[in-house]
Homo-oligomer: A and B are copies of this chain.
Amino acid sequence: MKENSEVTIYDIAKKLNLATSTISRGLKDHHTISKKTIEMIKKTAAEMGYRPNNLAASLRGNKMRTIGVLLPTVTQPFLSSLISGIEIAAQKAGYTVIIMQSHDSYEEEVNLTQSLYDNRVSGVICSLAMGTKDTSHFNVFIENNTPLVFVDRVPQSFETFHVIIDNFSAGYKATKHLIDQGCKRIAHITAGSEFSIYHERKKGYLAALEEHNIPFDENLCVKINSVTYDDAAKASEKLLSLKSRPDGIFAPGDILGVSAIQCAKRMGIKVPEELAVIGFNNDPISYIIDPNLSTITHPASKMGQTSAEIILKNLKQSRKKDQIVKQITFLNTEVLVRESSKRI
């Protein structure tokens, strides 16, 4: 008995006095192999403890049956739900999922992109790092005809698949909801660059204000550098300490909304009576905070599934370069009204 005895189709072939090609085909139910032979091959393979070697199989096609996923982090609830959706769709199709974290660093993102290519993944799903402006490191996938999907944090212009929510519309809906509740001075917290999802949400906020003839007050719009608990706390305090205080806050992230509520509670400001708050994402913390945080629901898992399905559908389509288009899939968001904004 050998040490590292790995059963290959060659071993099966020898045992059955057949050619390796017959084994190979039999194992995949090829129609040119007789039922009897197929049965015998499968039975023997099972008996011998044969297991296919995806490595070798993939080498021929020069592609692993693998979807590469490149995200800022995996610990945010939205992103871990996204991964879950991707994994479910991939597993259904017999694909595996490789995860990489850019930690919101452009440099890491560039390196990891290389690494994904070196591993010859079948497709790539990416949500951009906060600071990424230039996206030329993704060109390698286009040139190589590897399907590429950007999700949530997508580049401004890149001719490939995008899976996003309509951030402008969501920002509009959130703000309008506050207006409908009677808010007159609606504050907003924002982050990221001019081309980020946060910028889109802000544009929706501005549009809603304008449509309802509410003048925009610069003091009511605070910019933070990172969507963290600490930055959020500072922003909330700044807003709620204003001489003419806001009576509503549209926070484009649940951490921000939660911190606003907590800050209000500390300062003795009643939520929602004196301050209505709406967040974004429907993270678990949004329904734990008291009062419950109204929010915008984000179909995270479905976005993951959709992204994976786009990859899978486009695996075989060897497009030519001039056929590459930008195809945007929008998923729905909804206003989820809870205690923190319910005045009427």
- A interface, CB within 8 angstroms of B: 4, 6, 51-56, 58-59, 62, 64, 66, 73-75, 77, 80-81, 83-84, 87-88, 91, 96-101, 112, 114-115, 117-120, 140, 144-145, 258, 265, 284-285, 288-290
Contact = CB atoms under 8 A, between A and B. Distances in A.
A4 B62 CA distance: 11
21 contacts: A51-B117, A53-B118, A55-B58, A55-B62, A55-B64, A56-B59, A73-B84, A74-B80, A74-B83, A74-B84, A75-B77, A75-B80, A84-B101, A96-B100, A97-B98, A97-B99, A97-B100, A98-B99, A265-B290, A284-B284, A284-B285
Each complex incorporates copies of this chain amounting to: 2
A99 B91 CA distance: 10
Most chain B beta-carbon neighbours within 10 Å: one of A74, A81, A285: A74
A249 B58 CA distance: 54
A315 B183 CA distance: 62
Given A59-B55, A80-B74, A4 B144 contact: yes
Contacts of A66: 98
Nearest to A321: B3
Given A96-B115, A99-B99, A118-B54, A75 B64 contact: no
Contacts of A101: 84, 87-88, 91
A92 B18 CA distance: 46
